[in-house]
Structure 1
Amino acid sequence: MDITVVVPLYNEEESLPELMEWIDRVMTSNHFTYEVIMVDDGSNDNSWGVIESLKQKYSNLRGIKFRRNYGKSAALQVGFTAATGDVVITMDADLQDSPDEIPELYRMIKEEDFDIVSGWKKKRYDPLLTKRIPSKLYNATVRMVSGIKLHDMNCGLKAYRSNVVKSIEVYGEMHRYIPVLAKQAGFRRIGEKVVQHRERKYGTSKFGWTRFINGFLDLMSVIFVSKFGKKPMHFFGSLGTLMFLTGGAIAAWLIGSKLWAQYHHLKYRPVTDQPLFYIALVVAIVGVQLFTAGFIGELVSRSSSDRNVYLIEKEL
């Protein structure tokens, strides 16, 4: 099968018939073999009823319904697991992503040998202060931290080679960082395509200001886990050792200074009267705690069932 289109959705009953008709028209005109997987993320409107009715008309439509709302990452992960196409394309269900972009995204994966092609909504119709400016700051931060030069990391319209989505796990709110996860898994051919951004036709946006705060925290998590997930002692142990040695050195200096002054019959201040001594003790104790945390983390990591899961690209 050429293409799998994964559509995560939440309360989008009005847009689904138009979206499915549009996807089918594009696929048919380009002679693609395809399937559409709509993942209903616990909608409380009639979205699932609409999917059931569309299934009667489109045999290549598949539907998955969550019992409750788990979030976009969970919906994408389930869609990726079920996908069978050579190229997997994700798009939002609100009609702000245009299915007309699919042929070119597919061509870039197949002919230009990209692992991922991310959409870039260069011209946006979102509000300036509440979405466009925060989005620019957010994407600039992600580019700086991850080293991936994408202008619109959070764009829902993306294309993936099949083995990419089968090799990563999307959890929590990590759908924003699929290119980062893919790069860490060894898929480094990441491209970008300017795509059309359409005004929302039905319903309202499901995202608010909190997604930018959560997005930054998730970025820190994915960077930390990627670097130290299998070797926590390298982080906690190094930091703990540094703090323990620093605190110990300060305490030793204070005690040594007191003894030197006492030996030379000079005026001195008792060590326990100096706030710096207690600060040094706290630093040393925190260092021991961090080292212990790294040691425990290392034990947990070594006992993990997926510790020795490695991605093999080719085999003879």
Structure 2
Amino acid sequence: MSVLPIPASGLPDGAVMPDHTLSIVVPMYNEAENVEPLLVRIHQAMERYGQPWEVVLVDDGSTDATVSEIRRLAAHYGPHVHAVELVRNYKQTAAMQAGIDAARGDVIATIDGDLQNDPYDIPRMVYRLLSEDLDLVVGWRKDRQEGFFMRRLPSRIANALIARVTGVRLKDYGCSLKVYRGNVIRSVKLYGEMHRFIPAWLATVTTPRRIAQEVVTHHARIHGQSKYGISRTFRVVLDLVFMYFFMRYRTRPGHFFGGIGIVLGALGSLILAYLLCLKLLFAEDIGTRPMLFTGFFLLIAGVQMVTSGVLAEMLARVYHEANGASAYVARPQPAPSDNDGWLRPSRPS
């Protein structure tokens, strides 16, 4: 088992961490070789944390020994290490939502399970969140340890595009290492590929002024394979389109669909009015003209854009939020023992 060298905590000299409870959420998929070194690393980073904390490991339907490793190590470390086992692979966003749902902390940190994020950055990010009264601190992998053309360049383009579309200016949307106020992240629901848009998503319930970014350490992958492929790019583009709509029109969706509908309906109405003038003023036969069908088509399409589009969007929002619909199904886990499930700092006698 390889363990990375231990850096300094990064907290300012004399800094006192405000009272809180912390949940560290780790979605994992086929990361059997990384479970143990990651937990070792987390416990090293949190050894002198001084506040109650827990780890929530989410197995996203792994096909290797990840779930058995999580079970073994959860039993080894004790009740502050919790397991959430999804019945199949729901992808990263749903796995992250499952971990957030299971987390109990006032503050929630999310981190990848591949050892590329460094748990030693978590205390510093939590301190900044609480001391500066923020709702979200986003990790920025300034010195990213990955290929330029296959990963870093596409990531820079994507970050610039997302920032422009959403209006939330960040340099690294894709970094999984983020620290949230629990009540804020619990106020939204994640689905699709929305985990990479969380800062923009949260900006709909808070304000960009309460979102900050922090330079974090990034390591090269040691074990396992990357789960990112070209197919994810297309899913991200589709979710970005939805994000643009939701952020601009979430409280007035009729303005979006209605605008398109009015344009289509106006074109259809003009065509039909023109044909009506030909019929009434010049007694021309318009029954076989293609423009007649085009006019009716545009008019009907305009009405449908206003009604069907708004109805579909609002039904989707009701399904995912008002009814408490979930994007995953998890296996039931035994209740915590007499220990309340937090690893609390030892107090001097």
TM interval, short-chain normalised: 0.7 to 0.9
Partner of 1:56: 75
Is 2:185 aligned against 1:170? no
Matches of 2:270 and 2:29, distance apart in 1: 57
Choose from 32, 42, 46 the match for 2:65.
46
Choose from 294, 306, 314 the match for 1:279.
294
Number of equivalent positions: 303
Partner of 2:34: 15
Partner of 2:215: 194
Give the direction of change, closer, same or farther, for the CA distance of 1:296–1:22 in structure 2 (3 Å limit).
Answer: closer
Q: Give the Å deviation of 1:241.
A: 3.1
Choose from 195, 200, 205 the match for 1:180.
200
Q: Give the Å deviation of 1:152.
A: 0.9
Tell me whether 273-282 or 84-93 shows the greater mean CA deviation.
273-282
Choose from 111, 118, 122 the match for 1:98.
118
Q: Give the Å deviation of 1:226.
A: 4.6
CA contact under 8 A between 2:25 and 2:100: conserved in structure 1? yes
Is 2:219 aligned against 1:204? no
Q: What SS does the corresponding residue of 1:149 show, helix, strand or coil?
A: coil
Tell me whether 130-139 or 33-42 shows the greater mean CA deviation.
130-139
Q: Give the Å deviation of 1:281.
A: 3.2
Q: Give the Å deviation of 1:41.
A: 0.5
Give the direction of change, closer, same or farther, for the CA distance of 1:300–1:110 in structure 2 (3 Å limit).
Answer: closer
Which is helix-richer, 1 or 2? 1
Q: What SS does the corresponding residue of 2:58 show, helix, strand or coil?
A: strand
Give the direction of change, closer, same or farther, for the CA distance of 1:303–1:135 in structure 2 (3 Å limit).
Answer: closer
Q: Which amino acid aligns with 1:36?
A: V
Q: What SS does the corresponding residue of 2:46 show, helix, strand or coil?
A: helix
Give the direction of change, closer, same or farther, for the CA distance of 1:190–1:296 in structure 2 (3 Å limit).
Answer: closer
Partner of 2:332: none
Matches of 1:239 and 1:282, distance apart in 2: 14
Is 2:293 aligned against 1:290? no
CA contact under 8 A between 1:230 and 1:301: conserved in structure 2? no
Q: Which amino acid aligns with 1:287?
A: G
Tell me whether 300-309 or 249-258 shows the greater mean CA deviation.
300-309
Give the direction of change, closer, same or farther, for the CA distance of 1:151–1:302 in structure 2 (3 Å limit).
Answer: closer
Structure 1: 5+ residue stretches without partners? 264-268, 310-316
Partner of 2:241: 220
CA contact under 8 A between 1:19 and 1:95: conserved in structure 2? yes
Structure-2-length-normalised TM-score: 0.78
Q: Give the Å deviation of 1:2.
A: 2.8
Partner of 2:132: 112
Q: Give the Å deviation of 1:219.
A: 1.4
Matches of 2:112 and 2:316, distance apart in 1: 36
- Could you say which structure has the greater relative contact order, defined with CA pairs below 8 angstroms and 6 or more residues apart? 2
CA contact under 8 A between 1:89 and 1:160: conserved in structure 2? yes
CA contact under 8 A between 1:236 and 1:294: conserved in structure 2? yes
Give the direction of change, closer, same or farther, for the CA distance of 1:103–1:235 in structure 2 (3 Å limit).
Answer: same
CA contact under 8 A between 2:166 and 2:243: conserved in structure 1? no
Structure 2: 5+ residue stretches without partners? 1-19, 325-349
Is 2:139 aligned against 1:124? no
Matches of 1:305 and 1:131, distance apart in 2: 32
Q: Give the Å deviation of 1:146.
A: 0.5
Structure-1-length-normalised TM-score: 0.86
Q: Give the Å deviation of 1:172.
A: 2.1
Is 2:211 aligned against 1:161? no
Choose from 258, 273, 281 the match for 1:252.
273
Q: Give the Å deviation of 1:102.
A: 1.1
Cα RMSD (Å): 2.8
Matches of 1:175 and 1:200, distance apart in 2: 21
Matches of 1:252 and 1:135, distance apart in 2: 51
Is 2:47 aligned against 1:28? yes
Q: Give the Å deviation of 1:217.
A: 0.5
Is 2:98 aligned against 1:78? yes
Q: Give the Å deviation of 1:95.
A: 0.4
Matches of 1:58 and 1:299, distance apart in 2: 45
Matches of 1:282 and 1:306, distance apart in 2: 35
Q: What SS does the corresponding residue of 2:122 show, helix, strand or coil?
A: helix
Q: Which amino acid aligns with 1:283?
A: L
Q: Give the Å deviation of 1:11.
A: 0.8
Give the direction of change, closer, same or farther, for the CA distance of 1:284–1:77 in structure 2 (3 Å limit).
Answer: same
Q: Which amino acid aligns with 2:34?
A: S
Q: What SS does the corresponding residue of 2:263 show, helix, strand or coil?
A: helix
Matches of 1:190 and 1:298, distance apart in 2: 27
